[in-house]
Amino acid sequence: MTDTKPLLELRNVSTHYGAIQILRGVDVEIRRGEVVCLLGGNASGKTTMLKTILGYVVPTQGDVVLDGRRITGLPTQRLVGLGVSMVPENRRLFKRMTVRENLELGCYLRQDSGEIAKDFERVFTLFPKVKQRLSQRAGTLSGGEQQMVAMARALMARPKLLLMDEPSMGLAPVLVEQNFDIIREVNQQGTTVFVVEQNARMALSIADRGYVLQTGKIVLADTAERLMSNPRMQEAYLGKL
């Protein structure tokens, strides 16, 4: 299922906030069809890496390459058209708009109404609860439901690459597990997933490969299995069992 050709590449990327360096020459490669996770503690630069891919932050060095095309510094609003969508940290739904309006914004740039209708159906099969809540204001949903809507909204763009920032944050353990099951399902339907997580065990359980980021540098990069059994990982992120 995994293709060897990289869908997204970060080549020696550095970013700064003002004079402070956040990412220090990072190399990441995400191949078509993979689930790749990025692990790391607080302030290690995980979110910054996503922001860099999405163009919120322009790297001070290096390149971001999507599907062989250099997208470094491209304005954020162009990315979704190129097939990259995001499930932001803390969901960040348009809370005062209805669930339907949220989903419609997910496919804001698309014109193919027939295909959009199909994607609505696909999203409803993945998240039956979302269908029940269509006319409800997104802000009135529970955290778990909001997470579903956020994912549904991202999928409505029919992305090649789905970026997820801390999907487990603020959710009860049962919901986290459910969430990751769905991520795997989305991946099996053909979407490449790049997930940023603090919950290393959970993320590695569904990922093909993982990267570990520490103070802006990739310190470990390996397959999920090997990371799971790596003693350094166990000590730092997984806790001893």
For other proteins, the closer of residues 61 and 198 by Cβ is: 198
Question: Which region among 60-68, 102-110, 198-206, 217-225 touches other proteins (by CB under 8 A)?
Answer: 102-110
For other proteins, the closer of residues 67 and 89 by Cβ is: 89
Question: Judged by CB under 8 A, which of 14, 24, 31, 97 binds other proteins?
Answer: 97
Assess 89 for contact with other proteins (CB under 8 A).
Answer: no
Assess 29 for contact with other proteins (CB under 8 A).
Answer: no
Q: Which of residues 124-183 bind other proteins (CB under 8 A)?
A: 129, 137, 139, 142-145, 153, 157, 170-172, 174-175
> Taking the complex as a whole, how short is the minimal distance between the CB of residue 102 and other proteins, in angstroms?
9
Neighbouring-strand partners of residue 236: none
Question: Judged by CB under 8 A, which of 48, 85, 187, 191 binds other proteins?
Answer: 85
Cα–Cα distance, 193 to 135 (Å, whole number): 29
Assess 101 for contact with other proteins (CB under 8 A).
Answer: yes
Assess 77 for contact with other proteins (CB under 8 A).
Answer: yes
Q: Which of residues 182-241 bind other proteins (CB under 8 A)?
A: none
For other proteins, the closer of residues 96 and 118 by Cβ is: 96
Neighbouring-strand partners of residue 196: 38, 165
CB 35 within 8 A of CB 208: yes
Question: Which region among 21-29, 35-43, 79-87, 200-208 touches other proteins (by CB under 8 A)?
Answer: 79-87
Question: Judged by CB under 8 A, which of 23, 66, 79, 202 binds other proteins?
Answer: 79
Residue-level length of the chain: 241
Binding region for other proteins (CB under 8 A) = 54, 56, 75-81, 85-86, 88, 92, 94-97, 101, 104-106, 108-109, 129, 137, 139, 142-145, 153, 157, 170-172, 174-175
